[in-house]
Amino acid sequence: MREIEFELGFHWDKKVQFDLIVHRASDRVYRFIECKWTNDSDQILDLIKSFKNKIEEFDFKIQKVICLNHNPSSNIKTMAQNNAVVLITPDDLF
């Protein structure tokens, strides 16, 4: 597996906030990461739906990622897949 070099940052302004952004990645993909430490599926589904609006001002290749503290339900997995959102847990990172 090829390693990807990257820098890590965040984006916070009055209109749009992101918990983490992976940028200047060697694969030229920006990863916008939102962290949700909740089991409330409605909150997670709202975040999945809102990602589209949050990224529309950015004009480059983006991967939408949500980091959850638990394994998501099949409903959340389906919604994420339908909206091109990648779901991860901290186990995927470490």
Q: How far is CA 77 from the centre of its chain?
A: 13
Judged against a pLDDT cut of 90, whether residue 53 lies above it is answered with: no
Q: What is the pLDDT of residues 17-35, one digit of tens each?
A: 888 888 888 888 888 899 9
Contact between 52 and 33 under an 8 Å Cβ cutoff? The reply is: no
Q: What is the pLDDT of residues 59-91, one digit of tens each?
A: 888 999 999 998 899 999 999 999 999 999 888
Judged against a pLDDT cut of 60, whether residue 39 lies above it is answered with: yes
- Weakest-pLDDT range from 7-16, 42-51, 72-81: 7-16
What is the predicted pLDDT for the residue at 25? 80
- Considering only the top CATH level, what class is 7-93? alpha beta
pTM exceeds 0.85 for this model: no
